[in-house]
Copies of this chain bind each other. A is one copy, B any other.
Amino acid sequence: MRVSKFFLSTLKEAPSEAELISHRLMLRAGLIRRLGSGIYSLMPMGLRIARKVEAIVRDEMNRAGAIELLMPVVQPAELWQESGRWQAYGPELLRLKDRHDRDFVVQPTSEEVVTDIARNEIKSYRQLPVHFYQIQTKFRDERRPRFGVMRGREFVMKDGYSFHSSYADLEREYRNMYETYTRIFTRLGLKFRAVAADTGSIGGTGSHEFHVLADSGEDAIAFCPASDYAANVELAEAVAVPAARKAPVATMTMVATPGVRTIDDLCRLLNIPATQTVKTLVYRGTEGLVALLLRGDHMLNEIKAAKLPALQSPLQPASEDEVREVFGAGFGSLGPLNIKHPARVTVIADRSAATASDFACGANVDGQHYCNVNWARDLPVPAQVADIRNIVVGDPSADGKGTLDICRGIEVGHIFQLRTKYSSVLHCNFLDETGKQQPMEMGCYGIGITRIIAAAIEQNHDERGIIWPSAIAPFTLAIVPIGLGKSAAVREAAEKLYAEFTEAGIEVLFDDRDGRPGVMFADMELSGIPHRIVIGDRGLKQGQIEYQGRRDTSAQLISLESAVGEIKRVICAG
């Protein structure tokens, strides 16, 4: 493609409202243009990238046995009323009326429509399983659209829906999709993690998110570099540290700790690490109060704690008056020993607190703490132990294969076991082997096509612009001739190379604008084209042209003669 025949529309500066680097670069490189809040046109350069993403997604979905169809963007409300989502979905669902005043929605997803197709088309277990998918425009009326196409209102999404005659078969397809998504994001050239949407154990869960790793990601992810384990930080399972309780080494003593309110205060006063302390947090329980014990350096995970049946949900911190009445002391001096009314308190220890030894904790006397407390010796081993803390970097991975690290991610895919949520209410049934009507088991599987473009940029850019992974680069090679209008030699060499690379099946953007070299270089770098050659009179006199990879810090000279062969090798290797 010649730049003169293409529509390259780069900007020196991005509009100031664009905060995120991908949003700025997508505007600057002319991939998108804003039409309204959260609504963007995909410009020619942006569409080329979207089509590459789509092609990889389609190829892998087809290979996995899914079948593509296309469901309407504008959908009658009746089906949404039948599923209950018409009532349950908030204002994010874009609703409208046609000329006859009938209600419709603009699809945010298509569970209802695909389930309607399945219930009309599929009667018998012999027709199952089926997996339908589409790549189609979606609309979600976000309250605060932002970050360009990262959180836009209109976007392109691949949404797939599978139907099964048994849960076992749904699980098989779920694993199939887990592997398919892994192949897709690998082929896209992105660093990513499949993140369990609950505790992180692969297989047993009904939902995984696929995150592209990038510092600007909205979500924090705990992952094990030595294995596939990854989970949302807030949901990642925290195991006991240390794994088992050590034997006591010192005698328990009570020490005066006047003015100590926090673990930091306590550590400073006693000159011990926070790992050597246990803190006590008190919440209202379903009966009386609940004392949650955590190692001093750990943070309570409220999501995990709120799931404990002993606690009120959402969590209700006890007031200092309530605490003083039951424990005999105020905040800052609480602990599991010497509670004034122990019958009115349920004690739940985090796994790591339950394996602590020789630890310090409050003495339930204002301004007093115990040192060198040991379970079993100084107080009974905790009757209730649970995972109630956030994981921290260095924690053992729950799969036993190493220690956890934390990174940030952008959700670009999601696979989910819907089970019979939709098939039950929409009466999407089949006749099983025994002739009995059963609701179909369903899975759903989404990939945000337009969001992937933004996520890829968040992960791959530098101060000069975008650096496309080769699989989704809009063009593979930029040819930049210097002095095209003046030098016949440059023109001839440039046209010849353009023809030869194109012939070799390489997608070339030929900058035939005859502009200033600095402007052309800046545009090609901003656009993120992975490979670039520069053709100038000076080099040509030596029979040479310049080659530079987008991530290279300097150019190298290669002979004009062998340029096509050599650069093809570099491109294929990259």
Contacts and interface: CB of A to CB of B under 8 A. Distances in A.
Given A67-B44, A69-B43, A74 B94 contact: yes
A75 B324 CA distance: 61
A442 to B, nearest CB: 16
Interface stretch (A115-123, A176-184, A272-280, A548-556): A115-123
A65 B120 contact: no
Contact of A35 (B42, B71, B91): B71
Contacts of A97: 96
A141 interface: yes
Interface in A75-114: 75-76, 91-92, 94-99, 104, 106, 113
Contact of A143 (B46, B50, B96, B99): B99
Contact of A96 (B33, B70, B96): B96
A39 B74 contact: yes
Contact of A42 (B33, B70, B91, B121): B70
Contact of A154 (B46, B72, B143): B72
A132 interface: yes
Interface string A445-477: 000000000000000000000000000000000
Contacts of A65: 5
Interface string A49-76: 0100000000000000101111111111
A310 interface: no
A501 interface: no
A36 B73 contact: no
A99 B106 contact: no
Contact of A69 (B44, B72, B116): B44
A94 B91 contact: no
A44 to B, nearest CB: 5
Contacts of A41: 69-72, 113, 117
Contacts of A113: 35, 41
A186 interface: no
A7 B130 contact: yes
A116 B35 CA distance: 9
A47 interface: yes
Given A35-B116, A67-B6, A68-B44, A74 B139 contact: yes
Contact of A47 (B69, B130, B153): B69
Contacts of A117: 33, 41, 43
Interface in A472-526: none
A74 B33 contact: no
A137 interface: yes
A106 to B, nearest CB: 6
Interface of A: 5-7, 9, 33, 35-36, 39-44, 46-47, 50, 65, 67-76, 91-92, 94-99, 104, 106, 113, 116-117, 120-121, 130, 132, 136-137, 139, 141, 143, 153-154
6 contacts: A5-B65, A7-B130, A41-B70, A47-B69, A94-B98, A95-B96
Name the 3 nearest CB pairs between A and B, nearest first. A96-B96, A91-B99, A36-B76
